[in-house]
Amino acid sequence: MEFKTSIGKSTPDKIYVHGYDLTEDLIGKITLADMAFLGAKHRKPTENESKMLNAILVAICEHGFTPSSISTRLTYLGAPEAVQAAVAAGLLGAGTVYLGAMEYVAEMLQKAFKKHGEDKEIQELASIVIKERKENGLQLPGFGHPMHKPEDPRTTKLFEIAKELGFFGKNSKLLKEIHRQFCESKGKTVTLNAVGAIGAIMSDMALDYKVVKSFAVASRAVGLVGHIVEEIEYGRKESIGQQIYDYVERNTDYTG
């Protein structure tokens, strides 16, 4: 049986990744985000693609106490010998509420153009998307935030960078129009959150919606390292994980 891959291979004195010489073409010359792009597109990013992707990954790398970071801290409390388990625990929460929405936004936008073509006006296409999702009992992903109201500062910055670098295209315009019509129908401003913006921008970078969330997972893994480091710095007895455990223990009724 023969297994084939174009991702990487090694010889006694060389290592190749997607056709590039690892030591001569990649190490010291591209960023970790660029490596992620290389894996998704099988080529190194352009300068603007690199800037945009790095901006996106920085935007979602860290956001304080979330279910993801708390899961990491609690897992580290129980298994300090397995840092990888603590990071993995935090990544398991990358679902529809945190991080996952970017995939669903990208899917919504990409499928809208695939189904209805690109000859419709953005206003008309946005109306069709809203109508179809309502008829199918589907929510509009990418809207709302528990803290950032009426505007997510990350969204504003990312769209600003996307315009500067040439990645504010049809998908971003469609999402902005969907947002406008949605807010109009609600009679109030609903936050267009950062993961929504990222789903649109990454679609304008020609990334398939199926891999969009993978970038978020990679970014969040980096951020979770900081939470583990802080637990180490606090010391086990004063760690956030221990404080959460102690609080639950004190406030649990075992009488049934």
Look at residue 246 and tell me if it is in a domain: no
Structure token pair of residue 254: 């075992």
Look at residue 4 and tell me if it is in a domain: no
Look at residue 217 and tell me if it is in a domain: no
Q: How far apart are CA 24 and CA 36, in angstroms?
A: 18
Closest CA to 59 of 96, 78, 33: 33
Instruction: State the maximum Cα–Cα separation within the chain, in Å, rounded to a whole number.
Output: 66
pLDDT tens-digit readout, 109-143:
999 999 998 889 999 999 999 999 999 999 999 89
Q: What does the pLDDT read at residue 169?
A: 97
Look at residue 203 and tell me if it is in a domain: yes
pLDDT tens-digit readout, 22-58:
999 999 999 999 999 999 999 999 999 999 999 999 9
Q: How many domains is the chain built from?
A: 1
Look at residue 201 and tell me if it is in a domain: yes
pLDDT tens-digit readout, 147-198:
778 888 999 999 999 999 999 999 999 999 999 999 999 999 999 999 999 9
Has residue 95 got a pLDDT over 90? no
Q: What does the pLDDT read at residue 100?
A: 76
State phi, psi for 53 to the nearest 5 degrees.
-65, -40
Bigger pLDDT: 194 or 63?
194
Q: What does the pLDDT read at residue 253?
A: 83
Average pLDDT of the chain, as a whole number: 93
Look at residue 113 and tell me if it is in a domain: yes
Q: What is the CATH number of the domain that holds 165?
A: 1.10.230.10
Look at residue 86 and tell me if it is in a domain: no
Q: What does the pLDDT read at residue 146?
A: 67
State phi, psi for 101 to the nearest 5 degrees.
-60, -25
Q: What does the pLDDT read at residue 63?
A: 84
Look at residue 167 and tell me if it is in a domain: yes
Q: What does the pLDDT read at residue 105?
A: 96
Domain range enclosing 111: 96-210
